[in-house]
Every structure is written in C-alpha cells, then in structure tokens.
Amino acid sequence: MVWVLIIACLILSALIHIGSKQVTEVFVEAENLESTPGITLMDPNAGGIEIVKVNDGNGIKVNWGPVGIHVNDTGKCRVKQVGKFNVQVRGQLPNGNEYPVVIDSGNPAHMAVVTTVVLENALAIVPFEQLPKGQGGICRLGELKIGDMRIVNPPCRYWTGHYERRFLGWTTWKQKDINLGLGLMQSFVYILIDDVSQEVEFSVKRFIAEPNEAWASYPMIVETREHGNKRLMADIPVAGQTRRIMLDTGAGPGLILTAKIWATISDGLQIVSRAKSFVSSPADGRVPCNKVVVRELGIGGALIPNAAVFVMANENPYGEGDFTLGMGFFKETTVVLDFGNNLLWIKKPG
C-alpha cells in the first residue's frame, strides 16, 4: 500500500511538472469592437460627452461632464491592496461586477478598461480609427465604487489588448482590469500606498507627515508632453545622482530604463547577474529587455539589495529617454503621492 502511494505521488508530481511547462501567457489584441454583437454604440455628443476634435494630428480631444468623487466625512477612503506586483484594489461597477483596479500613474488617461471588461458588461462605446496601437476608443463606465468611495461619470477609454493564460491550448484566465490613471489620480489631494500593511488611501484632505522625521520628501510634478499626454515625474537620487524620473505605480519592476540611460548610472555598480527578460505593456504586449541585478542600488535614502534593473534597447515603444521607477523597490515601506504639495513622500526604513 505504501509503495502504491509513493508511485501515485511520483506520477502526480510528474504531471504537475509537465503541466507547469504547458502554461503560457500570451498577449491578445482584438479587433475594434464596433461590429461585435451585443455592443452598443453611444451618441458621442450626448449625456455629458462632447467630442471636440477627432484625429487632427494631436489625438482625440473629448470634453466630458464633471467627475464626481464622493467620500465619507473624513475625506479619506482606505482599502486593502489585492495586487502582488503593482498597486491594485477592488472596484465594483453599478451592476455588481467586481474587478481589480490598477492604480496606474503611468497611464496619462483618467480611466481605461480592457476589452474583456467592455464585453462582460456590454459597455456603450465610441470607437475611433487611427489611434495608437492598442487603443480602441472611449466607453461609458457610469460609476466605479472603491470601498465606501464612489467615482461618478469618469472619462474612460478602452484598450483592444489583454493578456491570457493558456494550458494545453485552452484559455484558463483572461485579464479583466480597470485602470485608474494619472488624469483621475490628480483629482485627489494625495494617494498613500502602504506596502507594509498592504493598503491604499485616497484622500481629498491634505497630507500631514507624522512624525515628520520619519519621512523623506522629493519634488514631484505632473509634466505635460506632446499631444497633451501627462507623466508623473520626481527628482530623486538614483545611484548617487539626483535624476528626474517617471513614477509608475502600475509597473511591477523597480527600475526600467534604456541602454543609453543605463550607461550614465551603471559605473561603480556591482553586477550580480544578467538575463533576458521583458516588460509588459497594455498596448504593446511584452517588450524585450535585459534584467540586470546589482548588488546594491541607492534609491532616495534607501539602499536596495539585489536590485533588479530592466534595461531596454534605445529603440523601443517608449523612446530612448524612458526612465521609469515602478513599485518593486517599495515593498517594505510607504509612499505618498502628494498632489496638493507636489511632493513624493517616502517613509524612511525603520
């Protein structure tokens, strides 16, 4: 009987090992949804939405009605994080469907959803042609509830790409995300991301760093680039050099940059390992890069041991000037995006 159990366990272990090799994650880009059965095309100039210019060389300009943000009397909403690699919370649509909401300062828009969310909720859409790869148009989300906070009539785009996990050719999981971008994040006075207690706090009241000596602060600004796209930038020491770097709370890796920028900060860093890797994008899928692990990397006032740096080619979808700091280096501390005072606060170690 014992031998039978041992053999059964060995067979089960072998099957699990073989099965794990058959699990793949792929990026699926769908056709635009205009002709999809069950999808409603909304009147773009009704119900608080006005399209001013379409594809004029500067992108699509849409005037939305006012966004309503309703919180309790404290002016704060604190909820649990649900993401492992980036900042995610749970959100609920008016029909009761719940989805992970990615708090993504790397997305310049107010809000975006993947096609799976559009289809599952039959959201009304306005498709557009000649948009950048991966972007389909705008859609009406209506309302998003996060904890006891309600966000009403948020401007929302939809993306035509999503990730799927497949086992032996069968789809076992589809990405179903709502993305809360920088355009909407700016509506709050501050957003606190506590990776120790695994919580996120949204507030319309000002941030008070208490005790003050426990925090370091760095200048932070929302920078407007060509076509009106926005980026959240901070002046923060990286490898002993104060650099202006983009903050991307939707990115899991700690540091993403190009070979050109890597050459300017890598002197004196002890490299532990190099390997082929990739960074993920909702529009471009997986972008190849090199993962370089360094013995120790200074970020702000902290020294990050065995820090992973993702080095892309200079020719990549984001341009040779891409220099991004994700959430990978803040897993044991608290970060505050203080839009009221244009400061990035990082709680000091210990």
Task: For residue 131, name the pLDDT band (cuts at 50, 70, 90).
Answer: low
Residue 242 lies in a domain: yes
254, 167: one domain: no
Residue 93 lies in a domain: yes
34, 169: one domain: yes
Tell me how many helices (H) and strands (E) the chain has.
Answer: 4, 28
325, 275: one domain: yes
Burial (CB < 10 A; 0-12, 13-18, 19+), residue 137, is: buried
- Enclosing domain of residue 338: 207-347
218, 117: one domain: no
- 3 state SS of 213: helix
Average pLDDT over residues 156-173: 82
Residue 2 lies in a domain: no
Number of domains in the chain: 2
Question: 117: domain CATH number?
Answer: 2.40.70
231-263 pLDDT, tens digit per residue, is 999 999 999 999 999 999 998 888 999 999 999
184, 45: one domain: yes
Question: 327: domain CATH number?
Answer: 2.40.70.10
170, 226: one domain: no
- Please, which residues bridge with residue 101 across strands? 89, 178
User: Residue 225 in contact with residue 348, Cβ under 8 Å?
Assistant: no
- Cis omega (within 30 of 0) for bond into 288: no
Residue 200 lies in a domain: no
177, 34: one domain: yes
Residue 167 lies in a domain: yes
171, 299: one domain: no
251, 325: one domain: yes
- 3 state SS of 5: helix
Quote the pTM value: 0.86
Residue 199 lies in a domain: no
Average pLDDT over residues 51-77: 76
How far apart, in Å, do the first and last CA atoms of the chain sit? 54
273-288 pLDDT, tens digit per residue, is 999 998 876 656 678 8
Task: For residue 28, name the pLDDT band (cuts at 50, 70, 90).
Answer: confident
User: Residue 311 in contact with residue 318, Cβ under 8 Å?
Assistant: no
Give ∠ CA 340-342-347 in degrees, rounded to 5.
95
User: Residue 196 in contact with residue 350, Cβ under 8 Å?
Assistant: no
184, 216: one domain: no
38, 133: one domain: yes
Residue 274 lies in a domain: yes
What pLDDT score does 200 carry? 97
Domain boundary among 159, 190, 221: 190
Residue 15 lies in a domain: no
256, 141: one domain: no
